[in-house]
A and B are shown apart, each in its own frame.
Chain A
Amino acid sequence: MNVDNVLDRILPTVSKPGRYTGGEWNSVVKDWGTCDVRWALAFPDTYEIGMSNLGLAILYDHLNRLDGVLAERVYAPWTDMEQALRAAGLPLFSLESRRLLAEFDAIGFSLPYEQLYTNLLNMLDLAGLPLLAIERDERHPLVIAGGGAVYNPEPLADFVDAFALGDGEEVVEDITAAIREAKHGGKSREVLLRRLAQIDGIYVPRFYEVSYHGDGTVAEVQPTVPEARTPVRKRIVAMLPPPVTRPLVPFLDTVHNRAAIEIQRGCTRGCRFCHAGMVYRPVRERPVQEILAAVDEIVANTGFEEIALLSLSSSDYGQIETLVRELVARHGDQHLSISLPSLRIESVSVELMEQLQATGRRSSFTFAPEAATERLRGVINKPIADEDLLAVVEEVYSRGWKTVKLYFMIGHPTQTMDDVAAIVDLAMQVRAVGRRVLGRKAQVNVGVSTLVPKPHTPFQWVPLAGEAEIKAQQEYLKEYLRGPGLKLNWNNYQETLLEAVLSRGDRRLGAAIHRAWQLGARFDGWSDQFKVEAWRQAFRETGLEVGFYTRRTRPLDEVFPWDHLDAGVTKRYLARDYEASLRGETRLDCREQCYACGILSAFREERAKLPQEAWGCPPV
């Protein structure tokens, strides 16, 4: 089948056909014939979202730099394109060479969040591959997945051959070498998977057997082959590898249509709800000089008009002030905007943004207090006093920003209706400050999401708040948080519930995911595509209890489906921190004081080879 001819026929009939044509500046098309290991890097959401994902950009760059290795891209086709592909009988293909996915040696899925699971199944199906890993063999591409969601990969255990835990830069090279060896040696899929199971950071779920107690909780996870280790510890890169300086430049308008440079990986703040803050430890900063040189190169190599300095907490980057001052000095007159997301609520953040937005419109300033009372902020370990917050907000308004965006979560452990009412009070106080400074122009936008307890965090024992409770709280907010200068956004509980069930699910959930996909579930993270009925039916038919996975307060000694996967932070530490949260005890920035989370003992050898200041951890 000639892919080009079919595409000429179907592309005029679908929305945003430019999603499927490739050819972007800095895309890499290597010679198929001279590369013996061929990766398809797959992002199971739209092109616009996938093109904004830094992890995939890093692996694309990394793999394409290797001799004899090529990496091409594929994103989830939108529903109209899926129909067109199925009607034309055209299997899913890569953007670079328009080769069918089935022709690649490996498909590497990036999974930053859980709502992508049905799309992963759908992409395998569109590629014409068996969905179940055990039905695939050496004639099919190896299916690998990595990214934030795979710290609990169990719900996808039936479909994915191997998961890569942690930083991907080095492990993809190890996987590539194993694939090459298996290919040239004519080794079977089983032999290759056993080889992969021996690589640090690789988890091959079929080599582990899970047994359950009568109440449905996990009794034990046992390796079934000698190569399978337990626990499987995540991989880290001891130092951040050089940043991508030739990122892809999309033709279409993507979600983050800009260049990005990671200035720091990991976070030392320890917010207890935060998955990223726990699993991306330790903190590794990129040196200022390396960032400055890279920004020059990126701007010259791409022509992007905006560059984002990415990290989990920008204000915590050690030399953030020097960095911003230098960037403004170098690029201030080049019509280059520099964005600095994830700022802490402190006046230095306002000063930094003021430098970055010296000219142009100052539209909005975003803060995430996450809870509206000082008590509850203690529980979640994100302490800041109300008066400090209001003082910072005053600086924001008085320096010309008209809109302050505040992000909160409801459903935190120990939260009462008073804490919810406090969201209204705090938003009103912020608006009052804004009005005092700016008058009627002052705007406060409040986003309220619902806490989804995540694995590998101190809240992994905590139940998701109930539907009636959350809806009542959302109704309260809708009732009272309104008026001129106020805007409220919230999340649909059913969508939260799906994220919650997938986040802490076990491998039995595979049946429900499979069934929901058969019933049409796709793009579960898209409110307009989310099919709650398909999921309800899938759970009903598979006999799985949503409440079992979401609504239980798990006992401290429960064995979790992800306990055999080690993110470097010990379960003992998480349990202690959970107990501390219930007492309202905070643990401040662990750059100042080590709380023994486990990361240093997990990676003792890596640390020993590095200078003291290479990681954010203090001497112990």
Chain B
Amino acid sequence: MNHPPSSQDTDARPPQQRLRITFAKGETLKYISHLDLARTWERVFRRAGLPVAYSRGFNPRPRFQIAAALPVGVTGRVELMDVWLTESLLPDDVRAGLQPVLSAGLEVLEVETVDLRAPSLQSRMRAADYRAAVHSQEPIEAIRTRVQALLEAAILPRQRQHKGKLQNYDLRPLVQSVDVEAGHGGGCTITMHLQASPQGAGRPDQVLEVLGLSMVPHTIERTKLHLDFDK
């Protein structure tokens, strides 16, 4: 029997271009996990007809990398992703091509070309900024006192899920700074600068938990990713 042309041939096409996409993940998508977000992007690229490069092997995967997972429930204002293409395109054309096929809750802010051999985004991640709008009735001084106590604590033992098991860890070294100020429509805004590197990432919801605010209605947004070449 004659085999149709093997798609292995196309897999072998080497990437010609690497694009860095700055995007926002909004309200509609904030409950979608990292894995599901990746699948959503894969389908956006396919709808846009983008010539995404595929990995080799029995189970070829489209080549793109999202810099850092967002915790479920958190929106992201400036998220980063790299995607490899089998032909070179103008970044503006790519942006225009993505626009009409973006799922609700996704926004493309910028598309730029980066060096094919540049280190991976994940390996360059260092920290992330978060802003939590907390609809708390408490006087802000009370919260400020707890923020101070958090920053002065030597250790902050917490628990997190790791591979289906609860694991103990120390949150303190992952917290680089926390600030609180009065919110616009009452309540307060808490800004956090948390480690987010291959060695570990601080979770903003766990910071709120330490501050006794996790049960108070709130929204959290990631406002910035810090990479080591940002310096």
Contacts and interface: CB of A to CB of B under 8 A. Distances in A.
Interface of A: 5, 8-9, 11-12, 17-18, 20-25, 249, 251-253, 257, 299-305, 328-329, 332-333, 335, 351, 354-355, 358-361
A259 to B, nearest CB: 11
Given A23-B103, A253-B39, A303-B46, A333 B29 contact: no
B120 interface: no
B6 A358 contact: yes
Instruction: Name the 5 nearest CB pairs between A and B, nearest first.
Output: A303-B43, A303-B46, A17-B31, A23-B28, A303-B47
Given A333-B7, A358-B4, A358-B7, A253 B36 contact: yes
B151 to A, nearest CB: 25
Contacts of A249: 43, 103
A297 to B, nearest CB: 12
Given A18-B31, A253-B39, A332-B5, 18 more contacts: A12-B72, A18-B33, A23-B28, A23-B29, A23-B104, A25-B43, A25-B104, A249-B43, A299-B46, A302-B43, A303-B42, A303-B45, A304-B43, A305-B43, A328-B4, A335-B7, A358-B7, A360-B59
B36 A251 contact: yes
Given A21-B28, A302-B43, A360-B59, A333 B10 contact: yes
24 contacts: A5-B217, A11-B73, A12-B72, A17-B73, A18-B36, A21-B31, A23-B28, A24-B104, A249-B43, A252-B36, A253-B35, A253-B39, A300-B47, A303-B45, A305-B42, A305-B46, A332-B4, A332-B5, A332-B7, A333-B5, A335-B60, A355-B4, A359-B8, A360-B58
Contacts of A335: 7, 54, 60, 62
Contacts of B103: 23-25, 249, 251
A77 to B, nearest CB: 14
Nearest to B31: A17
A620 B179 CA distance: 83
Contacts, number: 91
B101 interface: yes
A385 B8 CA distance: 38
B3 interface: yes
B105 interface: yes
A299 B6 CA distance: 20
A17 B74 CA distance: 13
Nearest to B43: A303
Contacts of B166: none
B217 to A, nearest CB: 6
A251 B32 contact: yes
A351 B44 CA distance: 33
A24 B105 CA distance: 10
Interface residues of B, number: 39
A354 B7 contact: no
A8 B219 contact: yes
B40 interface: yes
B1 interface: yes
B31 A11 contact: yes
A354 B6 CA distance: 12
B8 A17 contact: no
Nearest to B9: A333
Contacts of B40: 251
Given A17-B72, A18-B31, A358 B3 contact: yes
A301 B3 contact: no
A227 to B, nearest CB: 44
B29 A361 contact: no
Contacts of B28: 21-23
Contacts of A25: 43, 47, 103-104
B37 to A, nearest CB: 8
Interface string B45-68: 111010000100011101000000
Nearest to B8: A359
A609 to B, nearest CB: 39
Interface string B161-191: 0000000000000000000000000000000
Contact of B1 (A251, A351, A361): A351
B39 A329 contact: no
